[in-house]
Amino acid sequence: MKIDPHETFNARNYTFEEVAERFVATGDFAKIASNQHAVLLGPRGSGKTTLFKMLTLAALHKWSDDRAHGYLDKLRFYAIYVPSDILWHHQLGNLEKQASRNESFRMISSRAAVLTNIFLSVTDCFQGILSLEFANIDTSEAEVEIAKFLIDIWDLGPSLPMLSAVKIRLEARMSDVRTFLNRVVDHNLEDPSIHEIPDWYYYDFMQKVGLACSKVSSLLNLRRSHWALCFDELELAPEWLQEDLFGRLRSTDQRFLLKLSASPIPRILGKTRANQLDDFQLIRMWPHSSQKYKKFCDDLTKRLLKERFGQDVDTCKAFGRSILADEDDYSRGSANWTLFRDSATWDRSFRTRLSEFSPPIDPEDPVPFDSSQRDKVHRKAKPIVTWRRAYLKSSGGRGIERRSRKGPVPELYSGMDAIYAITDGNPRRVISIASRLADLIKFDKYSRVRLIPPESQGEILYSFSTQYSAYIKALPEAYFKAGERTYGLFDLLKNLGSFFHDQICGRQFNLDPYGSFYVDEWLPDDFLEVLRTAAWHGAIVHIDDNVKRISSDIRGKRFRLSYSLAPSFGLLMSKHRAKNIASCSSILKPVEGVRNSGPPVESPQQPDLFE
């Protein structure tokens, strides 16, 4: 599969086979492939769709990895991939608008559309089984019998006994739903007669899918005993379907597994009584806590570069290392020792702070007293000193002042570690940035890759960050009111970014800056919905040291800004301490004035650079 380097990869736009061609497996794939219910939570572009598509026979048969045959042999279910993004989100949105006068009819129409799309996905799965599991066997008679059975139990009417014809009838049925709805709307019928609504509108999808799967299992004597219904991007599906599916996690037909994906803070998850330890496996697809994703980013980048150049590319030599990833040496004469000593000559607050430690650190000879002081002071101070050197300068006798910077800061945002950190481990962002950097790669006469200049890398990462900012600005639903003014999501993010930047590059040197925030309990619902939208689009990242604890309530949760915004806002890619959001944002002051939020909520944390 060839992807335009300037196009953002989106797995929903590619076939199962095309997704498999570039798939890089992680531990999450082994989890989702286990024989139990699973819930995948993650922002857009985090790879949920890719994982679901890779569970299908079509993808596994195309996957060139040595592990593909292992999964084909050990997988105990047939995956039925059910998308719920574009088809349902737009079709059902239009249906609801047209039938807004009648709640019951709107629900019936919504259920009919969902049911039809599920049947389409089931039929796709059956076609895959016949063509791949029985590739060397004539299955024409079996296909006829299966098709006749589906036509009967799904009440499809006259049709050729072929699975391709069944799909055509299902596609026509969706058109019939719209036609019937338009007729009701045109005739201004408030309560259409129940006799005008076909019986199949009221089908229970699990019952009808169960009958179909039983028929295929017995007829073909299938070697797998389970079926996995993989419902993708449920945040875009009707709320009744979300409630139905999450409610079934605890009790459903034992032959069926539910694999559900949704946004990082789903609205519905808290309504189910299912226990995530006993009833389903919870998989969080973003860099929460100290989860590592650097290896996945590097593997995916190497695969893309090999496809581009036809040879393996040493990414460390192509990108170099970040300025913060050099050797951990603070001895006299080292680069870090020189950084501290030189900064102390123009940054008075840093010089003063060195003398306040116990034992004091000599600004002229800033060698650690012992390993404890090195760990607690020097390692924590190094990134802050580095950022202050890049954004601040001496103002003569008046102390320090900001540098007039516009555009990229290549010494901060370049190198392999910084590149991968900026992606937040998001596959779509990895592909986007790696494709742009690939345009700059050159080789010497011995086919060895040359280092891309940090200045060029910085321009790429800054451009990516500004484009991501523009994407966030354009979100139509992300607005809230504070006082007399209405703000967009990006206004809030920029305001928070300014606060966190000042924590690092303010007038006073701060060894323990704030870099993340908690959501106050008392904040209004419209503001919380904006934060929920931000989490879905990956603009804020939920960080929680307790991997097993998650709910649909966004209050009280801890977040940081996406590292994709770091070059635009001048931020360190480290979460640092947390403070309640109302105290971090000047925008929220009018809201905060309505209610006394009490003392700031804080969480002392050691910085986790390039987590």
Tell whether 257 and 358 lie within a shared domain: no
Tell whether 162 and 233 lie within a shared domain: yes
In a domain, 608, yes or no: no
pLDDT tens digits along 120-134: 999 999 999 999 999
CA distances in angstroms from 447 to 229, 279, 416, 434, 441, listed in the order given: 47, 53, 20, 19, 11
Confidence at residue 438, expressed as pLDDT on a 0 to 100 scale: 97
Mean pLDDT value across the chain = 86
Confidence at residue 199, expressed as pLDDT on a 0 to 100 scale: 85
**Predicted model pTM:** 0.87
Confidence at residue 68, expressed as pLDDT on a 0 to 100 scale: 86
Instruction: Could you list the beta-strand ranges (E) of 327-367.
Output: none
In a domain, 462, yes or no: yes
Tell whether 357 and 448 lie within a shared domain: no
pLDDT tens digits along 447-472: 999 999 999 999 999 999 999 999 99
Which residues in 170-204 are b (16+ Cβ under 10 Å) and which e? Answer: beebbeebeebbeebbeeeeeebeeeebeebeebe
In a domain, 206, yes or no: yes
Tell whether 195 and 232 lie within a shared domain: yes
Tell whether 582 and 467 lie within a shared domain: no
Tell whether 484 and 467 lie within a shared domain: no
Domain-terminating residue out of 368, 402, 436: 402
What residue has token string 């045959």? 69
Q: How many domains does the chain have?
A: 4
pLDDT tens digits along 413-451: 999 999 999 999 999 999 999 999 999 999 999 999 999
Tell whether 303 and 339 lie within a shared domain: no
Tell whether 258 and 346 lie within a shared domain: no
Helix (H) or strand (E) holding 20: helix 16-21
Q: Helix or strand or coil: residue 278?
A: coil
pLDDT tens digits along 492-510: 999 999 999 999 999 999 9
In a domain, 439, yes or no: yes
Overall average pLDDT of the 48-67 stretch: 93
Question: Band of the pLDDT at 139, cuts 50, 70, 90?
Answer: very high
According to DSSP H, which parts of 248-325 are helical?
294-309, 315-319
- For residue 393, what are its two tokens? 């300068």
List 444's β-bridge partners, or say none.
none
Confidence at residue 400, expressed as pLDDT on a 0 to 100 scale: 87
In a domain, 24, yes or no: no
Domain-terminating residue out of 402, 419, 451: 402
Query: Which residue segment(s) compose the domain that 316 sits in?
Result: 294-321+411-473
Contact at 8 Å (CB) between 409 and 423? Answer: no
pLDDT tens digits along 393-418: 988 766 788 888 777 888 899 999 99
If one compares 301 and 96, the residue with the highest pLDDT of the two is: 301
In a domain, 5, yes or no: no
Q: Supply the Cα-derived Rg of the chain in whole angstroms.
A: 28
In a domain, 20, yes or no: no
Tell whether 221 and 94 lie within a shared domain: yes
In a domain, 593, yes or no: yes
Domain-terminating residue out of 402, 427, 458: 402
Tell whether 463 and 570 lie within a shared domain: no
User: Which of 75-79, 145-149, 181-185 is predicted least confidently?
Assistant: 181-185
Tell whether 187 and 93 lie within a shared domain: yes
Rounded Cα distance between 301 and 289, Å, is 24
Contact at 8 Å (CB) between 513 and 576? Answer: yes
Confidence at residue 191, expressed as pLDDT on a 0 to 100 scale: 54
Tell whether 465 and 599 lie within a shared domain: no
